[in-house]
Amino acid sequence: MPGIIESKISDTLESNYMPYTMSVIVSRAIPEIDGFKPSHRKLLYTMYKMKLITKQRTKSANVVGQTMKLNPHGDQAIYATMVRLTRGHEALLHPFVDSKGNFGKITSRDMKFAASRYTEVKLSPLCEEVFKDIDKDAVVFMDNYDGQMKEPKLLPVAFPNILVNPNKGIAVGMASNICSFNLSEMCDATIAYMSDEHIDLHEYIKGPDFPTGGDLVYDRNIMDKIYNTGIGSFKVRSQYHYVKKNNCIEITEIPYTATVEQIIDKVIENIKAGKIKEISDIRDETDLKGLRITIDLKRGTDPDKLMAKLFKVTALEDSYSCNFNVLIGVTPKVLGIKGILHEWLKFRIDCIRNITLYDISKISDKLHLLYGLKRVLLDIDKAIKIIRETEFDKDVIHNLMIAFEIDEIQAEFVADIKLRNINKEYILKKTSEVDSLEKQLKDLKELAKSDAKIKKLIAIELETIKKKYAIERKTRIIESDKIITHQENAFVEDYNCKLFFTDHNYIKKITLVSLRGSDVHKLKDDDHILQELDATNKSDVLFFSSMSNVYKMKAYEFDSIKASSLGTYLPNVLELEDGESIIHTVVTTDYSGFMIFAFDNGKVARVPLSSYETKTNRKKLVKAYSDFAPLVSMFYFNEESDIILNRYNAPDELRLVLLNTELISEKTTKNTKGIQIIRLKKGSIMNIAIEASTCEISNPEQYRVDKVPMSGTSIDIIDRLLMQSYMK
């Protein structure tokens, strides 16, 4: 068709999608070595140009509007960026924006920040260290998006901000997640690193530090990996205390990655599911004094044991995954702490050298003027005479240049001196200033040439910043090996009970005492009990489903009921898929024994029950048994047993095989297809699989085999009629 050009999809992706990908990575999502993304940098630089370091606060809307000259992404996006940088939002250890008004909270999902027309902002005092000497060409400037203004490519931060404040970004195909560290510790580590690159960082940095506090579960090996590679995950716990007077737990600090609403919702969800029974009420009591979640306890509840459970099932304990991905130039790099410090020091050294060269240029220019002035002041009367006797103003500069052998710039400077300044005091003052400036110039030139001297200057700056802005750690350190980890069933009462599983997928947990009182079961119409199982309250219960899945629960997760109750409807509790049902139940405490799965293609699989044991509390295991052929029956055996299988070819042929389970080789793969036990012929199937002990045929031993596969032995008419009831 005319106007349509065919091209390969790979070429189209390369020419269209790749530039977008690079733009997101380089210009939007990944922080650079100064610790800022472009959106942060544009906002803060706008506030700096508005002189909001020294001025009073202004409306946020004013800042947002001015920022749009550098950032065209829209006022809502700019304001959302500002919110995260404010003191009021509490997302940063050291906020860059001093705020007034409602900016929401990092710890709240539902608390929305007020509109920009209501809130007020200015730069925090720390920004003096962010913009220090930026007007002395400390960093490179570039055109803004429409070429009408200049903006800095990076900000000349005088401390390693990239590691002091948390930063997160999701680009295309990569992400960055940098945790925050204490400013004092990071300054000490940076100073030490400048002296010796082989320092042990653990001597200076205790661990990550978050604005929301909490308890860091410290593991030296995990921290080593994070410090060295920038990759790793650690856990942060909430801080709580028990108020005996009110029999309640008050949570005052939560992990940085969690919110109050998320925690409360999860607790309520577990209460409704019957997994937590020790709580009578939970509420958010956060106010101007700070965060507080109050949990009212039922009488007799151990608060520490309850918190151990809550740490396990809610975000009161949460993981923080580190990915120290930093944009160095235009290249994303995942670096450890030393790698980031190395890059930051290179950047900071360049900044100070640029500032020094700027000062050298300015002092050199000033000295050049003073040298000319000094030459003229040696004979000031001559200079006055030349100026007075020159007929035209335009010739004054030329005549001075010739008379004193100075250049045009020096002559202009001399000619502009006020008449009142040609006195002895002024002359001596200006002459003495030359010596001072020459010494400064010499020192600056030596500084510009020496990385070692620049590093000493950086160390002095870091010590000053530490004294002015450092705060105490908010996140406490607790050793992982000192944490008493309560097993979920450690404080669960244990007792013997019976489980009854019905055809309609109900389950009942009944204590033996209750059964002795009444053993008449209430069931729905057409329902009947399929299995009666001995258990304890701490037993694991495995539910095998019709879709080859296994669902796992603890017996104590079911309420003890009476036989006169219908029981718990499993599809609701287990969240079964549409059309899925439970077909078999197994109870165990140690996962000993094995499962037998018989299929209509004559194969039988033997899988150790230990294959279903998991280290984590997974509720669902998929592909728990093979779905290659229709299942006839499944069994759980704790020891070797006899089973009876058949070969059936309608309408006449019916053969049986009696074998011991030891003839079935064991496979650890859960969904194994099994081995051939019954040798089938065309049109025949296996549709009987029963335990020999439950079979009522007259002489089962006549069907026993000692090797497999076998075709089976034909049975007489009486046994045939009896076996019809076992056919699937």
> How far is C-alpha 653 from the geometric centre of its chain's CA atoms?
64
Please tell me the distance from the alpha carbon of residue 655 to that of residue 674, in angstroms, as a whole number. 21
Contacts 24+ apart (CB under 8 A), 408-417: 409/368, 409/369, 409/372, 410/368, 410/369, 410/371, 410/372, 410/373, 410/375, 411/372, 413/369, 413/372, 413/373, 414/372, 414/373, 414/376, 414/383, 415/387, 417/373
CA distances from 116 to 61, 72, 83, 121 (A): 5, 17, 10, 10
How many Cβ atoms from other residues are within 10 Å of residue 651's Cβ?
6
User: How far apart (Å, rounded) are the C-alpha atoms in residues 370 and 538?
Assistant: 92
Residue 726 annotated as catalytic = no
Cβ neighbours of residue 237 closer than 8 Å, sequence gap 6 or more: 214, 215, 217, 255, 311, 316, 317, 478
Q: What are phi and psi of 9, to 5 degrees?
A: -60, -35
Tokens found for residue 385: 């005479």
CB 657, CB 625: distance < 8 Å = no
459: Cβ contacts below 8 Å, ≥ 6 apart: 191, 194
Cβ atoms of 80 and 72 closer than 8 Å: no
CB 688 within 8 A of CB 725: no
| Cα–Cα distance measured from residue 441 to residue 367, given in angstroms and rounded to the nearest whole number | 9
- Name the 3-class secondary structure at 259: coil
DSSP 3-state of 495? coil
Residue 359 C-beta-side C-alpha neighbours within 13 Å: 21
365: left (phi over 0), alpha (psi -120 to 50) or beta: alpha
Nearest one of 142, 181, 137 to 159, comparing CA atoms: 181
Instruction: Extract the tokens encoding 201.
Output: 């960082």
> What are 657's two structure tokens?
């095989």
> How many other CB atoms are found less than 10 A from the CB of residue 322?
22
What is the residue-wise DSSP string for 77-111? Answer: HHHHHHHHHBTTTT-SSS-SEEEES----TT-SS-
Give ∠ CA 336-340-343 in degrees, rounded to 5.
140
Catalytic pick from 17, 20, 45, 118?
Answer: 118
Cβ within 8 Å of residue 436, ≥6 positions away: none
Closest CA to 638 of 514, 516, 717, 534: 534
Between CA 92 and CA 86 the distance in angstroms is 8
As a whole number of angstroms, the distance between CA 283 and CA 705 comes to 67
522: helix, coil or strand? coil
Residues forming a β-bridge with 496:
536
According to DSSP, the residues that pair with 235 across neighbouring strands are 217, 319
- Vertex 77, ends 71 and 83: CA angle to 5°? 110
Sheet strands side by side (includes 631-637): 631-637, 594-599, 603-608, 675-676
Is 218 in contact with 235 (CB distance < 8 Å)? no
Catalytic residue numbers, as ranges = 118
